[in-house]
Amino acid sequence: MQTRAKIQDLIVPATVDRMLQEAGTVLIIDAPSALGLLSPQPGKQSVIVTKKQMLCAEMINTVQPDAIIGPLITASWDIVDLGVELEEMGYRGDLFAMTRPLPRSELVIREVSAVCPALNVRLLETA
C-alpha cells in the first residue's frame, strides 16, 4: 500500500515572507537567526524563541503557533526529527526549514512531507 504525502509546490521567497508576516504567532526552534527575517509587528505578531529540548505538548497547546521555524539540520537532529515530534505533540500547520539555497529543494520538501503528512512543509532559504 502506498501512502501519498501532501507535497507543497515550491513557494517563491516573497510568498514565504508574506506567509510569515501574516502568522499571528511564530515559534522559532533553535534558529535565532530567523528573528532577522521577521519584521517587528508589535501587537500583531508574537514571536517565541525556544530550544528543541524544551518542546512539549503543553508548550504547543499554550503557544498555539501559526508557523514554526527550525533549522534544516543540526549536529544532533534534523527537520524530519522535529516534524515527527511536532506531529506527536498535536501540531498541525506550517513548518519552515531554514537552510542555505539547495539545488533540489523539492526533494527535501517531499521527504519531510512523506514522513509528516499533517504539516505544510516549506523551505526558508537564506543567503
How do residues 63-99 score in pLDDT, each as one tens digit?
999 999 999 999 999 999 999 999 999 999 999 999 9
pLDDT at 18: 81
Provide the whole-model pTM. 0.86
Report the distance separating Cα 97 and Cα 12, nearest Å. Answer: 14
Domains and CATH numbers, the chain: 13-125 (3.40.50.2300)
Residue tagged 502506498 (cell numbers): 2
Report the distance separating Cα 19 and Cα 17, nearest Å. Answer: 5
The answer for residues whose C-beta is within 8 angstroms of residue 41's C-beta and 6 or more apart is 21
